[in-house]
Structure 1
């Protein structure tokens, strides 16, 4: 039997009971390792994290915790090659796609180290300025942010086992809150390895970072009033989490990132072959192919002026035709695999569902896979659909196919386009393409109401913009409605989730003696 990965709980590496759940290479089908969380003493694990890890972290200043994160980022860089090997084997990603996850995670970790350094010796943060409560100004009210006295439980998704860990753990640890991470089972290996390497540095206090691989059974039952929970995954699972008796009874603070039918919008004043249209086409293709479309921020709906509908269809299809799909170990391959055959079957079923209200305008499955057996590999080629009547179609605005699939649709004018985008009922990101600053600003303002991020691309930033689906730690990640209603990242804004806000009412001298620094975004 293959190796059974251990869990890090209550400061000890513990193997779960039973034979465990196997993790596979999604290209070859080879079994890699196994994971199990059966039999773990979860009450002890959570108590150890809260009491030992939390106390040790809170004894440090923000500056000291920032230095700790910086040391971790530097130490983990030394293991990058091992992480890339695991990603290729367990996630089926190309080197470029693995880099988005691995290097993106390490960059985020290092960025929070740099931001946190500016907080220096403070052990609490100010939220706004003090305000007088009496005429003479001596009696004041000051809102104060202090680290929550609980644990941060992360239940993460399969598509970003490295970035998904550090984009949450970096602000939590900087805040002084211990972390227990439960990675998605299918790709848990990379998360477990990174936690092991981080703990091996000796930079983290005992109990500051724990990892549970395997089933999530019993985790939510451990949550107490000052704990926080962050979940990335399906809206269906998110609903179960929100309604869990322990979450409800203890008013556990929850952050959710769920389904998202992200859109890309080519502005009405674009013309065929214009630079704005070329940027739009390039980004749609890139978002369909990066990580084989397995990104919660990927473009699912692409909207173009009706006059450019056919031209956009041909341009996108032509670029998709140049993609090679197969084993990412072959350097000619541009798109690797989905993470499992289960996801493969889910994507195929999703395409069939959307085909009831669309037509296929590019079917990449006609091209052979490179160095991969189609009967075994979870490789699926890109599919571009077209919805001629998006007003009377509901599936394209409701069903997210988590793979290399996007639907192109025409619109009449900007008001019509904005109404179609809004039918996604809340998304993580919408990107807008054009060259008129005033009209782009107008569209961005309208779209902000139903998106966590609006990514505006004009020719002036054509070579420098960070990408529709690339989540930068400087900007907010999350979205309203269907996207879960959560907020992550956004610079030091991310720290607010891990702090409790209280109003201190006292004389001015007491307020000044709090020794806290403003939370600068």
Structure 2
């Protein structure tokens, strides 16, 4: 009997014992920094001279690890390994596949603070954000294992006289997972183990920013008993192996999370049939957002300010669900803005591997320069109220930044920044609030802070996002509670962490037998 799914609890860092446990995790990981990490194909380790160099974004001099880069020849070898492994893995009992995920969840749970410490070092995550990332990875392991067991018997069909019909699911074959750096354990874990538990071998190409934590997942799954060849770890330069992975004739699916530009490129390339290809490739893509919190005139204004600040500046705004637009009714505009500024001034910025802070650094030099550029754009498009300071002398630090009086069609209100910058705009009535919220090409998350039930019900259907929240922030979706995925240019609305997700990596089959 499988127990019902329960969300992995977050660590209470106000508890001094928990703080000491996390600090011990940080010390343990610090002793491991700077090692070499291999490519993994069919359980074998391969080291190359060409390496990805992972660094701490809050301390540029601190090397997290050197990770071997895969070549096209490694990719071919990985596909050969996957095809061979599929012969057994695809026919293994789903309960046995799910059991490996449950064992992996238990391993990570025992080492939770260690994994969170890796996230603090490699992704620059503050303690609470790192803890949530690790907890979400555990949730994916537990939830997808249970979802696979729910699909074991397929779905019921009607029978006719002298005829029996069955409807069941079978795996597709090898596929590619290309996860992002911002949830360097949770999304890497979820996008990898979902197709695996469904019976498909996976080639995992981690982000070049956070490859070490991805390798740690590979180790956990191996320890849990995953057979050789089911998961092949192929880190590398996207310019060298990215298109090759997508184009390969043996790729059955591509599970991608990242930018709109890369996602649409993958969709376009995957649609082309290669020589020797005998199947249509499926693309599951989550591609970012430009997310809005609406504040109605009839609202809890303290709640509104808190929701905006936490959603905008959690993990330095480096979430596709982050609030980068606050659209307020004119009657409450100034009061909510003042409250948000006051809360933002209380945020601490620093190196999360040294102390517990609210915000760390942005992930790398490229992102740092991008955010700086948008701050300059914001100074031309609105009024800088708070922040705007940047410092890359030691790490890539950007202070939480607020702009006010920004026009709805300004670049600051339309383009994804992926940094700690939020723009405030005002509207005359709820219809205009909703119109502004919907005026971007994205449709990932959004929130409405209002005590007007009529307005909430209007937003329920007319606010065009995949994940909509009432009277709370627009981030922090929980596996099994808020399945995640967006509309429009935010992706294929795959609803990760939801009851339909595994079916993206399964083929439905009907068998009819006449008696």
Shorter chain as normaliser: what TM range? 0.7 to 0.9
Deviations 1:219-246 (A, max 9, x none): 5435336611011111112232222277
Q: 2:416 aligns with which of 400, 405, 422?
A: 400
Separation in structure 2 between the aligned mates of residue 197 and residue 143 of structure 1, nearest angstrom: 34
Separation in structure 2 between the aligned mates of residue 246 and residue 5 of structure 1, nearest angstrom: 34
Say if 2:181 is the partner of 1:155.
no
TM-aligned CA deviation for residue 374 of structure 1: 4.6
The normalised TM-score by structure 2 is: 0.85
What are structure 1's unaligned runs of at least 5 residues? 271-275, 367-372, 458-464, 510-521
The corresponding residue for 2:433 is: 417
Say if 2:485 is the partner of 1:478.
yes
The corresponding residue for 1:230 is: 255
Whether the 8 Å CA contact 2:485–2:495 is kept in 1: the answer is: yes
The corresponding residue for 2:26 is: none
Q: How do 1:352-391 residues align onto structure 2 when only pairs under 5 Å count?
A: 352-363=376-387, 365=389, 374-390=392-408
Say if 2:215 is the partner of 1:192.
yes
1:113 match: secondary structure? helix
Whether the 8 Å CA contact 1:264–1:299 is kept in 2: the answer is: yes
Whether the 8 Å CA contact 2:328–2:427 is kept in 1: the answer is: yes
* Compared CA separation, residues 360 and 138, structure 1 to 2 (3 A): farther
The corresponding residue for 1:108 is: 140
Say if 2:449 is the partner of 1:433.
yes
Separation in structure 1 between the aligned mates of residue 513 and residue 380 of structure 2, nearest angstrom: 65
Separation in structure 1 between the aligned mates of residue 270 and residue 185 of structure 2, nearest angstrom: 30
RMSD across aligned C-alpha pairs, in angstroms?
2.5
The corresponding residue for 1:210 is: 232
Say how many residue pairs are matched: 473
The corresponding residue for 2:329 is: 305
The corresponding residue for 2:157 is: 130
Say if 2:502 is the partner of 1:488.
no
Deviations 1:460-491 (A, max 9, x none): xxxxx7x5211222233221222123413252
The corresponding residue for 1:369 is: none
Whether the 8 Å CA contact 2:349–2:399 is kept in 1: the answer is: yes
Separation in structure 2 between the aligned mates of residue 387 and residue 151 of structure 1, nearest angstrom: 50
Separation in structure 2 between the aligned mates of residue 441 and residue 490 of structure 1, nearest angstrom: 25
Say if 2:508 is the partner of 1:501.
yes
The normalised TM-score by structure 1 is: 0.84
Q: 1:319 aligns with which of 343, 367, 373?
A: 343
Whether the 8 Å CA contact 2:59–2:395 is kept in 1: the answer is: yes
TM-aligned CA deviation for residue 109 of structure 1: 1.2
Separation in structure 2 between the aligned mates of residue 87 and residue 365 of structure 1, nearest angstrom: 25
* Compared CA separation, residues 471 and 209, structure 1 to 2 (3 A): farther
Deviations 1:138-162 (A, max 9, x none): 55766543221x1231111111110
What are structure 2's unaligned runs of at least 5 residues? 1-32
Say if 2:475 is the partner of 1:469.
yes
Deviations 1:289-321 (A, max 9, x none): 211111111111111101111111111001000
* Compared CA separation, residues 11 and 297, structure 1 to 2 (3 A): same
Tell me which moved more, 420-429 or 402-411. 420-429
1:186 match: secondary structure? coil
TM-aligned CA deviation for residue 435 of structure 1: 2.3
Separation in structure 2 between the aligned mates of residue 179 and residue 95 of structure 1, nearest angstrom: 30
Separation in structure 2 between the aligned mates of residue 225 and residue 397 of structure 1, nearest angstrom: 41
Separation in structure 2 between the aligned mates of residue 175 and residue 109 of structure 1, nearest angstrom: 12
Say if 2:295 is the partner of 1:266.
yes
The corresponding residue for 2:307 is: 283
TM-aligned CA deviation for residue 388 of structure 1: 4.5
Whether the 8 Å CA contact 2:126–2:356 is kept in 1: the answer is: no
